Amino acid sequence: MIPVVVGSNPIGHPSPTFQTVRNAALEQIESNARRALASDDPEYLHQLRVGMRRLRAALRAFKPVLPSKKAKRLRRALRELSPTLGEARDWDVLVQRLNAGRSRSLLSRAEKRRARARKKALAAIASKQFSRITARARTLEARATGGTLGELAAASLERAHRKLMKEARAVNWRDAAARHAVRIRVKRLRYSCEFFAPGFAGVGAAPYIAQLKALQEILGELNDIAVGRRLIGYDADEAALLGRLEDAWAGLLRLPQFWRAQDRTLRPAARRTARPDTRARARAGSRRPRKPASRRR
């Protein structure tokens, strides 16, 4: 397999800024887009989509310092392109599962559907719409504010954490749509943590990010099963994964939020985002149905 370009990692940057994070995401998007058009390796498309999600996450994380209209247009353009690329990724994952499980009765149908989805995805990558997205992203610049980067980071992380806790407060882990909603929040918090971790050196960011990643992986595997069930009727036993999910969630709740170690210097507006819901526990409950989406990392 040809090496996949995952982009430079902003975690290694001593002072993360929007430009740093944006440029890393664009490197991942553009490098993998070129390789996806020249290769059948599905991993390039996957990494391209990861780069797009990181860029969308950066637009959320740095929202207070970005020009509102330009950022909103870019978010909308990324969101519009996502379903076409996501469908191709769904079929890539499903074909891989069918091959591993020797489900020959479904494999032929799945491969034909994958070929059609991939053709649409490659056309989208080669389109003017895709070129405009990357061009817009390169011209988007953060503006100067009166606050510090540390204040922005802590407030952004508190906001993402609070939304995750709210989504998970009454989740039923056996409900695929509800799990998927939590998964989206886990991803967003993880990416924001990765963006801002350098600004909280020495306060234990790595274990927290690792636990988010482990949780995201389990939720991703469960989502793959749900997507396979929806697309072609392929099913698998979820019991073991659900047990791992409950343990991973409990493990996250035990970890301190690293950005709060330097919370004493925050402005009141940033402190107000901290809520006592960090000890929330997932319990059975009803959620508004949501459609499972493709796996993300």
Share of the chain above pLDDT 90, in %: 69
Place 135 in a pLDDT band, splitting at 50, 70 and 90: very high
202-226 pLDDT, tens digit each? 668 999 999 999 999 999 999 999 9
Q: For 151-195, how does the pLDDT look when each residue is reduced to its tens digit (9 = 90+)?
A: 899 999 999 999 999 999 989 999 999 999 999 999 999 999 999
> Is the predicted pLDDT of residue 71 greater than 80, yes or no?
yes
Cβ atoms of 223 and 236 within 8 Å: the answer is: no
Side-chain half-sphere of 158: how many Cα atoms within 13 Å? Answer: 22
pLDDT at residue number 104:
76
- Whether the CB-CB separation of 90 and 178 falls below 8 Å is answered with no
Contacts for 40 with CB less than 8 Å, ≥ 6 apart: none
For 205, other C-beta atoms within 10 Å of its C-beta total 22
Question: What global pTM score does this model have?
Answer: 0.82
Residue 175 gets the label, from left (phi > 0), alpha (psi -120 to 50) or beta, of beta
* Banded model confidence at residue 5, pLDDT cuts 50, 70, 90: very low
DSSP letter (8 states) at residue 103? -
Residues 6+ positions from 5 with CB-CB distance below 8 Å: 27, 28, 31, 32, 35, 47
